[in-house]
Amino acid sequence: MRTQAERDEARRICEAANKGPWHVSENQHPNCDESPWGSVECVDPRGRVFVWSGYDGKRDAKLAAHARNTYIPLLDAYEELEGEALVLRRALDNQAEGLPGT
């Protein structure tokens, strides 16, 4: 996974965002080209609304609505596993020191 600096930046961005919950809604009237549009809303005292448009916009809106509350736990899990891997690497290195030819 990315560098520690990139993970730290991703965490900072996520933690600065409203916690939500976030909801994606679709307007019942499509755009002139019949593509959908709607909004991403944050139910929060500082409530935010972002408007999306088109099929790509709808997919992006779903990602935006779920990213904050999904990405932070994934970063936590990654960092926990990274720490466990380091402990295991050190244990293997210590055992390897006692082997002939090392």
Residue 61 DSSP SS3 = helix
User: Is 13 within a domain?
Assistant: yes
Chain-centroid distance, C-alpha 21 = 15
**Segment 17-67, tens digit of pLDDT:** 877 788 888 888 888 888 888 888 877 666 667 777 887 888 888 888 888
Token duo for residue 90: 């050190």
Q: Which residue has the higher pLDDT, 101 or 40?
A: 40
Q: How much of the chain, in percent, has pLDDT values that exceed 90?
A: 26
Count of the separate structural domains present in the chain: 1
User: Is 38 within a domain?
Assistant: yes
User: Is 14 within a domain?
Assistant: yes
User: Is 101 within a domain?
Assistant: no
From residue 19, how far is each of 27, 55, 74, 86, 90 by CA, in Å?
24, 25, 16, 32, 38
User: Is 19 within a domain?
Assistant: yes
Which domain range does residue 89 map to? 4-94
